Amino acid sequence: MSQHIALAIIGGTGVYSLATLDDVETRHLDTPYGVPSGPVRVGTVLGRRVAFLARHGEDHALPPHRINYRANLAALKSLGATRVLALNTVGGITERFGPRALACPDQLIDYTWGRISTLCEEGGQVLHVDFGEPYAPMLRHKILAAARVTGVKVVDGGCYGVTQGPRLETRAEIARLRRDGCDLVGMTGMPEAGLARELGLDYACLAIVANWAAGCGGGEEITMAEVLANVQAASAGMAELVGELARG
């Protein structure tokens, strides 16, 4: 596998592997920030070299606040990746973002706390990166174009509110997020997006809506069985979309 990595993918809850990855190499990496969440699987999708990393670990052992986001991104960059597609499993708040929808958000609000959120933690050079557009516009454009080519329905835009987790939110918290302008809620969008910008990586999110957020749907209790079933259904066209994106 001498060709460069066309695309790196970080999988979220319910996405622990890339079934269409062929000729797989397993890379156990270390970085200046420690070890990533697990091995990086490097292989080919439709002839393009792709790297995949499960954000929570392949056994979902890492809660959102314990993920070493810096190591994950640094590991992918060390393999030569320049573009990162983040798959984030989220809850839907506003009407366009119901369960089983796929969305490519263009904004986020960070409600997390206590996470290492910069490469500057140890001192040295301070990076004041421009973060007005938290997702790389050109990569977002390519994701949406790949969706059109493959016939995968993706909602264009939306604001992702990132909460601390691992518990789900109260109805009052979701009402606050709605007032703040959030359309989606999840637990892993930050500091990942900010760190990707500091590392100079083109980074964008494809959000998989697994459930209505508290108080937004019919009021039923959210179960992991429901979440995983919805993730699987929403991901039906993911392989084709990823393959088309890797080609672009």
What's the pLDDT band for 1 if we cut at 50, 70, 90? very low
- Residue 14, pLDDT score: 82
Residue 211 annotated in ligand binding: yes
- Burial tier of 85 (Cβ tally within 10 Å: 0-12, 13-18, 19+): buried
Residue 159 · residue 183 · CB < 8 Å: yes
What's the pLDDT band for 3 if we cut at 50, 70, 90? low
What's the pLDDT band for 227 if we cut at 50, 70, 90? confident
| DSSP assignment letter at 174 | H
Residue 60 annotated in ligand binding: no
Phi and psi at residue 190, to the nearest 5°: -135, 145
Mean pLDDT value of segment 126-150:
96
What's the pLDDT band for 212 if we cut at 50, 70, 90? very high
Mean pLDDT value of segment 163-183:
97
Mean pLDDT value of segment 134-146:
97
- Residue 138, pLDDT score: 97
Mean pLDDT value of segment 158-168:
97
- Determine which of 63-72, 110-119, 174-183, 222-231 has the lowest per-residue pLDDT on average: 222-231
Beta-bridge mates of residue 91: 185, 211
pTM of the model: 0.94
pLDDT higher than threshold 80 for residue 220: no
Domains in the chain: ranges and CATH: 5-247 (3.40.50.1580)
Residue 88 annotated in ligand binding: no
Phi and psi at residue 161, to the nearest 5°: -90, 125
pLDDT higher than threshold 70 for residue 225: yes
- Residue 219, pLDDT score: 65
How far is 163 from 182, CA to CA, in rounded Å? 11
pLDDT higher than threshold 80 for residue 222: no
- Residue 171, pLDDT score: 95
The residue with tokens 């039906």 is: 236
Residue 118 annotated in ligand binding: no
Higher pLDDT residue, 3 or 226?
A: 226
Residue 1 annotated in ligand binding: no
Residue 230 annotated in ligand binding: no
Residue 212 annotated in ligand binding: yes
Residue 187 annotated in ligand binding: yes
The mean predicted confidence, pLDDT, of the chain is 93
Residue 37 · residue 62 · CB < 8 Å: yes
- Residue 2, pLDDT score: 45
Mean pLDDT value of segment 110-129:
90
Higher pLDDT residue, 190 or 6?
A: 190
